[in-house]
């Protein structure tokens, strides 16, 4: 048997071991300790061979869904985009703070693309003129760049990342919405194949534009979003767009609390007034509120420039109003509708004596604006407190809501003519001779995030625990000191020969490194191979291998004749 026909870990470079596990080790730390990646700069990472294999498998899986189920054509657009194009679309000023920008030797301004709506629309506008060429579905899997203010959690929030984005072009709204639903169905199948319990939540379109979008979230404590779902109906939304039931009124003697925020330009201090507690009408339960319950999405909808990353608003305000500064400042009081009784009158006067104001900081001597009657999207009072688990569902009469922290892995947008109109992507639709802007959609999957989130979701105390679809290798054969290399090769080819009878061959590797058996087993758990086949003590005496699978809870001795079938069956279960 040729050495080249057997995949061997000794031929793969990955600096595993040598890094001690911390008591609170997360999955990102395990990825580093197992030799999948290393950080190059803040929010940027080098993928090592094991990490590259995982990412490549995610890319291949996503591409297969785009090619086979949607009939999309793959392209690869330049990572460099002209600022002039983003100015033409009207989006440059909205996202400027997150862009890596530079000029060439002729002082022409460019940027590293965080997304490619402008480029793909311009490309299509040049070559597609007839409605007969639609629908058109184009996708790419490329590196993207976003100058995150606070890159964190490794691959989950980076400044350089790999993403799949699909762009769709249709003749009219009806066909575009049909395409949108088709993409959503494919996304459901994609995440199911990864064995990830992803929630599809209605979401805000944000700076992307359009009026319909869904996010695909994986519940995780490291998530930066909050997804709200009902236990009785299909209501699933991002907190930013959640409907809130009209809040009741608290007793007039209920103590009040205040949360303070400040705008990014430090010219506006925002006081959010809310009750310290509330007694629920249906259950009589006494609910206590803290600053953690402030609905920042609702506050930001009213104060778009709010800096949600600031924890010491008064400190920044003190600097802004220090003697000698000429900054024009204003104070805004937002009052939760539960507090229907009037706040102290001095809150709306120019001479402010604010409750809870630190004595070390002079109160602002500027006009205070008090906003009491705030309305939501449907005219109801706008609650400034977050929805909690157990609250009533606004869509059905019997359901209760569950609130989970989650990480966004994908996003679908119906863009309409947001980009096609300003960038001239038009076709002529008979009988009208007038050109009509194409109806567009944009659908992304964060490849890097899928890698990081899958690692986080499935990791346990022993290590990583990949699903078969994207594991660096589906199965590792670990020979002990009593097993010769020929034995390992025999098992390797037996498993591969059987697996080729199925839809695709297993990705098997032999751990032939010059290490002890306990060391290699410890490392196999850390790396997260779905199936481990150990050629230990029973192999030489009885030709039985031990098969291990943490996710299925299997640790069993198996005859060589039965081993390939068992491994293949486990493959289908994983």
- Which tens digit of pLDDT belongs to each residue from 332-386? 888 888 886 655 554 544 444 555 566 656 655 555 666 665 666 666 677 888 8
pLDDT in tens, 543-566: 999 999 999 999 999 999 999 999
Tell me the pLDDT tens digit for each residue of 30-41.
999 999 999 999
Asked if CATH classification 3.30.930.10 holds for the domain at 29-81+113-242+402-455, the reply, yes or no, is yes
Among 203-207, 446-450, 500-504, the range scoring the smallest mean pLDDT is 500-504
Higher-confidence position of 415 and 301: 415
Q: What pTM was estimated for this model as a whole?
A: 0.85
Rounded to an integer, what distance in angstroms lies between the CA atom of residue 457 and that of residue 161?
19
Which stretch, 152-156, 167-171, 300-304, has highest mean pLDDT? 167-171
pLDDT tens-digit readout, 47-79: 999 999 999 999 999 999 999 999 999 999 999
| 3-21+465-573 shares its CATH topology with 29-81+113-242+402-455 | no
Mean per-residue pLDDT, 380-402: 85
pLDDT tens per residue, range 437-484: 999 999 999 999 999 999 999 999 999 999 999 999 999 999 998 788
pLDDT of 425 reads: 97
SS3 track for 165-203: EEEEEECCHHHHHHHHHHHHHHHHHHHHHCCCCCEEEEC
Q: Does residue 388 register a pLDDT over 60?
A: yes
Mean pLDDT of 511-536: 95
Question: Residue 423: pLDDT above 70?
Answer: yes
Query: Best-predicted range by mean pLDDT among 181-190, 263-272, 308-317, 357-366?
Result: 181-190
Residue 541 is predicted with a pLDDT of 86
**Is residue 523 pLDDT above 90, yes or no?**
yes
Domain assignments of the chain as residue spans, ordered by start = 3-21+465-573, 29-81+113-242+402-455, 256-371
CATH architecture of 3-21+465-573: 3-Layer(aba) Sandwich (3.40)
Residue among 310, 369, 374 nearest 337 (CA): 374
* Average pLDDT over every residue of 219-234: 89
Within 8 A by CB and 6+ apart from 249, the residues are 338, 340
Helix pair angle (563-573, 485-499), 10° resolution = 60
Cα separation, 460 vs 179, whole angstroms: 39
């Amino acid at each position: 048997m040729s050495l080249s026909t057997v995949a061997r870990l000794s031929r793969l470079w990955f600096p595993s071991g040598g890094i001690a596990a911390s008591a609170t080790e997360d999955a990102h730390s395990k990825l580093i300790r197992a030799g999948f990646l290393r950080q190059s700069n803040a929010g940027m990472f080098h993928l090592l061979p094991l990490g590259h294999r995982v990412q490549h498998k995610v890319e291949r899986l996503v591409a297969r869904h785009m090619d086979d189920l949607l009939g999309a054509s793959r392209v690869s657009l330049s990572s460099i985009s002209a600022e002039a194009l983003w100015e033409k679309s009207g989006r440059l000023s909205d996202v400027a703070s997150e862009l890596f920008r530079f000029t060439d030797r002729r002082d022409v301004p460019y940027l590293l693309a965080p997304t490619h709506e402008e480029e793909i629309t311009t490309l299509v506008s040049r070559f597609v003129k007839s409605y007969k060429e639609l629908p058109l579905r184009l996708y790419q899997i490329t590196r993207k760049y976003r100058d995150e203010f606070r890159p964190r959690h490794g691959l989950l929030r980076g400044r350089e990342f790999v993403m799949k984005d699909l762009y769709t072009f249709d003749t009219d709204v009806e066909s575009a919405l049909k395409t949108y639903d088709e993409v959503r169905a494919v996304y459901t199948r994609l995440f199911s194949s990864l064995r990830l319990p992803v929630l599809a939540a209605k979401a805000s379109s944000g700076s992307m534009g359009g009026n319909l979008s869904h996010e695909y979230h994986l519940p995780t404590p490291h998530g930066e979003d909050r997804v709200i779902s009902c236990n009785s109906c299909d209501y699933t939304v991002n907190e930013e767009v959640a409907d809130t039931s009209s809040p009741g009124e608290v007793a007039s003697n209920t103590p009040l609390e205040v949360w303070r925020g400040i705008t990014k330009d430090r010219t506006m201090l925002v006081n959010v007034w809310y009750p310290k507690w509330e007694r629920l009408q249906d259950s009589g339960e006494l609910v206590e509120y803290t600053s953690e319950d402030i609905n920042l999405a609702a506050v930001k909808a009213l104060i778009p420039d709010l800096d949600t990353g600031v924890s010491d608003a008064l400190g920044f305000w003190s600097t802004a109003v220090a003697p000698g500064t000429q900054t024009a400042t204003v104070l805004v009081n937002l009052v939760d509708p539960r507090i229907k009784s009037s706040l102290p009158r001095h809150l709306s006067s120019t001479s402010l004596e604010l409750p809870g104001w630190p004595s070390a900081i002079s109160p602002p001597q500027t006009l205070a604006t008090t906003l009491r009657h705030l309305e939501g999207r449907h005219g109801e009072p706008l609650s400034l407190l977050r929805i909690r688990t157990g609250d009533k569902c606004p869509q059905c009469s019997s359901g209760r809501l569950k609130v989970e922290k989650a990480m966004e892995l994908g996003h679908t947008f119906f863009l309409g003519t947001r980009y096609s109109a300003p960038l001239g992507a038009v076709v002529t639709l008979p009988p009208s001779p007038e050109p009509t802007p194409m109806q567009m959609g944009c659908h992304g999957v964060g490849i890097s995030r899928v890698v990081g989130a899958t690692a986080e979701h499935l990791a346990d105390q022993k290590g990583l625990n990949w699903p078969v679809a994207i594991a660096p290798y589906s199965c590792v054969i670990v020979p002990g000191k009593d097993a010769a290399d020929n034995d390992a090769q025999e098992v390797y080819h037996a498993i591969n020969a059987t697996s080729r009878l199925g839809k695709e061959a297993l990705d098997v590797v032999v751990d032939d490194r010059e290490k002890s058996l306990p060391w290699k087993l410890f490392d196999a758990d850390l790396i997260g191979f779905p199936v481990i086949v150990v050629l230990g003590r029973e192999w030489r005496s009885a030709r039985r291998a031990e098969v291990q699978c943490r996710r299925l809870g299997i640790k069993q001795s198996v005859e060589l004749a039965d081993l390939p079938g068992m491994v293949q069956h486990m493959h289908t279960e994983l």
